[in-house]
Amino acid sequence: MLSPPFSFYLRQYLLLRGAWMLDIGRIVLGFGIAFQAYVAPAYVGEISPKNARGRFTYANQLMNCCGISVVFFIGNLVTWRTLAIIGIIPCVVEVVGIFFIPESPRWLVKIGKEKDLVPTLKRLRGKHADVSQEAAEIRDYMEIVQQLPKPRFLDLFRRKYAHALTIGFGMMLLAIFGGTVGISYYASSIYEAAGCSVSVGTTTTAIVQIPFSVMGLLLMDKVGRRPLWMISAAGTCLANFLIGLGFLLQNLKQNKELTAILVFAGIQLYVATYSAGMASTPWVVVSELLPTDIKGLAGSVITFANWVSAWIVSYGYIFALDWSPAGAFFILAAICASTVVFVAKMVPETKGRTLEEIQASLTFFT
């Protein structure tokens, strides 16, 4: 019996090596996204004026939506390898841009560089802006923070942090388990299973999320975080229900065209309402609620929990769809409905309040 030629072994080696390189690249990319996902809104929240903090922080999510839309469009034209190479460009721009942005005023006070506080605030607010009151509030608050011991992991379980951390973990987990990761990752498969055109569906999804993200940006500091979030969660609840209803009709051997319409409309409604509120509101509120002395540690833990949840959903989503597409989306609808209740009962409104006022209201000084 003849042994396989050398080219066979070479091809198998290259395939195995390519798979490992993809895995390692995805892990590194995951670490980078995880850091950016919390650091960006936290930094923007600290440097923004209180009357526009929501809009500025939400702009981060708007850029994410724009980037995802661009990827959807380009992905229909080029191979995934070319798409991965193109993705290097914005990363390089971001790395270079970091060297041109100022430090957070609160961070400067925390590390003992108070002399840079006023110049930095003037750089952020305008050369002729009166920043004396804001600078005084930051100094007073940071003096109290610096008297506290350096936080340890076990300190997160102290009673005075319970409210803020409950809100932080609750918001992130409900947003993820409400279905966004699954719909984002498996949209093509869902469209195909429902009998929709995959190219039309993904292109429409890419178009829809941009204007609704802009709408969320404009409404964040007008209607407030809580109303925007609850409306967004209610919309995703209805969207998941429509998708589940579509697949239920498919299981009952009803009108196939109606299934396609319901699933298509449900996904677009989900993308629209999620982009308008839930996509960014949790990150905005978490960056505002966490006390300064534990912000880094608590934010890291919450971000870790967020991405672990995203992994669980992305891994289990396909099994849930194999089990019952209708049942899976009805469960997601129930989770989104519980999000409305959670926000109404647990989450305070932070619009128009300084970070110090928000954190003081959460028993920080008790």
pLDDT in tens, the chain (366 residues): 445 554 554 455 555 566 777 778 877 887 777 777 777 877 887 888 877 777 777 777 778 777 877 877 777 778 878 888 888 888 899 889 888 888 888 888 878 888 888 888 888 888 888 888 888 888 877 776 666 666 676 767 777 777 788 888 888 888 888 888 778 778 888 888 888 887 788 788 878 888 888 888 788 778 888 888 889 999 999 999 999 999 888 888 777 788 888 999 999 999 889 888 887 787 778 777 777 667 777 777 887 788 788 888 877 887 887 888 888 899 999 999 999 999 888 888 877 777 667 776 665 444
Length of the chain: 366
Question: How far is C-alpha 114 from the geometric centre of its chain's CA atoms?
Answer: 33
Calculate the dihedral angle through the C-alpha atoms of 234, 235, 238, 239, rounding to the nearest 10 degrees. Answer: -140
- b/e code 250-278 from CB counts within 10 Å (16+ = b): beeeeeeeebbbbbbebbbbbbbbbbbbb
Q: What is the DSSP string of 201-222?
A: HHHHHHHHHHHHHHHHHHHHHH
Helix (H, G, I), strand (E, B) or coil at 3: coil
What is the model's pLDDT at position 334? 94
CA-CA distances (angstroms) from residue 133 to 129, 130, 321, 353? 11, 8, 55, 14
Residue 281: which of 38, 61, 23, 35 has the closest Cα?
61
Which residues, other chains included, contact 209 with Cβ-Cβ below 8 Å and sequence gap of 6+? 65, 68, 69, 271, 272, 275
Q: Nearest-5° angle of CA 169, CA 175, CA 176?
A: 90
Task: Answer for the pair 128, 67: CB distance below 8 angstroms, yes or no.
Answer: no
Beta-carbon-side half-sphere exposure of residue 340 (alpha carbons within 13 Å) = 15
Q: What is the pLDDT of residue 153?
A: 66
Burial tier of 247 (Cβ tally within 10 Å: 0-12, 13-18, 19+): buried
What integer pLDDT is reported at residue 364 of this predicted model? 42
pLDDT at 365: 40
Helix (H/G/I), strand (E/B), else coil: 102: coil
pLDDT at residue 335, rounded to an integer: 92
pLDDT value at position 337? 93
What is the rounded CA–CA span in Å between residue 295 and residue 359? 11
DSSP-assigned states of every residue in 124-147? HH-TT---HHHHHHHHHHHHHHHT
